[in-house]
Structure 1
Amino acid sequence: MNYYIVTGTSKGLGESIVKQLLHENNTLFCVSRKQNNELKQLAQDKNVNLYYFSCDLQKLEEVEKMMEKILGSIDREKAEGIYLINNAGIVEPIKPVGKASNKEMEASVKVNLLAPMILTSTFIQSTEAIVANKVVVNVSSGAANRPIFGWSVYCSTKAGLDMFTKAAGLEQENCTNPTKVISFSPGIMDTDMQRTIRSSEKDDFADVETFKQYSENGMLRTPDFVAEVITKLMISEQIENGQVYDIKTFI
């Protein structure tokens, strides 16, 4: 049995990843604030075990407990693979430094960085003795590698997540039953996040017109396409621990 834990499954990339994984011999744990009834129905139709955990990743005190509950329900004797996809993320606040409120910055750091760190740490600790293929995928962004006007918080959290991935991967290389920890940058996708970006004011986000052109010119990848790349990558025997992968490598 393969077990998959996916955050941010109410829509977008997370929803597409779950759809890719709805196969026999897979058990899925979906994490989001709102449940996705379409996914629940699809799983039922395909006779796939799917469990929903409603969780606000800003409430860090709940994150560890939820993860322990999920991992405690796994049949360790039958587990062939255990996978965590830290997909949930927010692009807000889209504002220059000095305009974003402390509360907005705090929310971004919690969802984009601290929650994935806690989930990954709990995953590694709880599965340490399990002999199975264990992989954590942290969904990153090209924004981790360059400064973008109005995205100081988002850029910083994604850069932090990539460095966390590299350090965790390095540490796991010395473990008896290592977990592979990787980051994956999906590029620009046709999601609600992109619509939020395009609705920004130019004073807050200098590149807003460029992102509008991405949509108008059909340059946005579909979440389904990106999900297919991610799901193939994470089960590959060729992935390197601590590596940051970019979708451009695979197209």
Structure 2
Amino acid sequence: MKYFIVTGTSKGLGESVVKQLFHENHTIFCVSRKQNNDLKRLAQENHVNLYYFSCDLQKLEEIEKMMEKILASIDVSNTEGIYLVNNAGVVDPIKPVGKASSREVEANIRVNLIAPMVLTSQFIAHTEGINTEKVIINVSSGAANRPIYGWSTYCSTKAGIDMFTKSAALEQKSAQFGAKVISFSPGVMDTDMQKTIRQSDKTDFADVETFIQYNEQGMLRTPGFVAASLVKLLFSHEIENGKVYDIKNLI
């Protein structure tokens, strides 16, 4: 049995990743604030073990308790692999520095950076003695590598998650039963996040017209297409620990 923990599964990339993982030999733990009833129905129809955990990723206590429950339920004697996909993320606030409130900045950092750091930490702590394949994928962004007007918080958190990935991977290389920790940059996708971006005020986000053109010119990849690339990478036996993978180099 292979076990998967996927965050941000109510819609978008997270939902598509879960669909790609449907298999009778897979147990999937979905994490999001709102449950996705369509996923639950599809899993039942396809005889897939799927469990939902409602969790606010801004609350660290909830994350720790949830991970303890999930990882305690894994049958260690019958596992072929344990996987964590830190997909949940937010782009707001889309505002220049000085315009976003402290609360908006904090909420973004909690979801985009602190939550995946805590989830990864809990995963490693609870599985360190298990001799099985273990892979953690942190969903990053091209915004981690370049400054974007109005996205200072988002860019910073994604740059942070890439460095955290590299640091965690470095440590895991010397662990007895270490996990592989990588980042995955999915490029521009046709998701609700993109709708939020396109609705931004130009005074807050200087590149809004560019993202409107992405949509009008059909340049946005579908979540299903991106999810297929992510899952293929997840199962690859040639993963380079600590590497930041860009979808452009995988397709």
Fold-level match, TM-score > 0.5?
A: yes
- 2:6 aligns to what? 6
| Residues 105-144 of structure 1 mapped to structure 2, 5 A cutoff | 105-144=105-144
Shift of 1:85: 0.1
What's the CA shift string for 1:83-136, capped at 9, x where partnerless?
000000000000000000000000000000000000000000100011111000
Shift of 1:60: 1.4
**What SS does structure 1 have at the residue aligned with 2:177?**
coil
How far, CA to CA, are the matches of 2:118 and 2:65 in structure 1? 10
Q: Does residue 192 of structure 2 align to residue 187 of structure 1?
A: no
| Residues 24-173 of structure 1 mapped to structure 2, 5 A cutoff | 24-173=24-173
How far, CA to CA, are the matches of 2:96 and 2:67 in structure 1? 34
How far, CA to CA, are the matches of 1:24 and 1:50 in structure 2? 10
Shift of 1:65: 1.1
Shift of 1:24: 1.1
- One-letter code of the match for 2:190? D
- 1:23 aligns to what? 23
Shift of 1:195: 0.1
**What SS does structure 2 have at the residue aligned with 1:236?**
coil
Shift of 1:68: 1.1
RMSD: 0.4
How far, CA to CA, are the matches of 1:68 and 1:8 in structure 2? 18
What's the CA shift string for 1:48-98, capped at 9, x where partnerless?
110000001011121111111100000001010100000000000000000
How far, CA to CA, are the matches of 2:230 and 2:72 in structure 1? 25
What's the CA shift string for 1:22-47, capped at 9, x where partnerless?
11100000000000000000000011
What's the CA shift string for 1:148-167, capped at 9, x where partnerless?
00000000000000000000
Shift of 1:204: 0.2
Shift of 1:250: 1.1
Of all paired residues, the percent bearing the same amino acid is 73
Structure 2 gap segments, 5+ residues each: none
| Paired positions, count | 251
- One-letter code of the match for 1:231? V
